[in-house]
């Protein structure tokens, strides 16, 4: 199933597998379909990586099960971007309730003005 996984996510996932080996805690955050469609983790890495599913909201114009641009025609991509923008409160809540010190985001996620106090 990895071949169906959005290609732009693969480098982030590979980095997520590398960082725990250097002593860092990792939370890999994506939508449910992306989390479940990811390549399998080695048993030694599974306890070191927190997989966080964010609920992609449905919006008019976006096919019900679509969670990546590879599943859409070019005229539907703006609807996916809007749905990802609507993840901001969920992502903000996760970041505020965690001890995250570094955040890396894929090009489609919206996050601006986040400052942990």
| pLDDT tens readout for residues 48-101 | 888 889 999 999 999 988 988 888 899 998 999 899 889 989 988 988 898 876
Closest alpha carbon to 77 in 106, 108, 56, 55: 108
Report DSSP state, residue 64: T
Over residues 8-36, the mean pLDDT reads: 85
Rounded CA Rg of the chain: 15
| H/E element, 89 | helix 88-96
Q: How high does pLDDT run on average in the chain?
A: 80
- C-beta separation of 106 from 68 below 8 A: no
Please state the domain extents for the chain. Answer: 2-96
Global confidence as pTM: 0.74
Q: Which residue has the higher pLDDT, 117 or 81?
A: 81
């Amino acid at each position: 199933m990895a071949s169906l996984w959005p290609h732009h996510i693969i480098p982030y996932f590979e980095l997520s597998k590398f960082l725990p080996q250097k002593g860092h805690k990792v939370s890999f955050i994506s939508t449910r379909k992306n989390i479940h469609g990811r390549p399998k983790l080695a048993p030694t890495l599974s306890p070191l990586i927190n997989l966080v599913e964010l609920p992609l909201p449905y919006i008019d114009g976006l096919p019900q099960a679509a969670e990546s641009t590879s599943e859409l025609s070019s005229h539907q991509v703006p609807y996916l971007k809007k749905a990802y923008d609507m993840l901001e409160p969920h992502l903000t809540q996760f970041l505020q309730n965690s001890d995250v010190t570094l955040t890396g985001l894929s090009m489609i996620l919206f996050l601006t003005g986040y400052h942990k106090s």
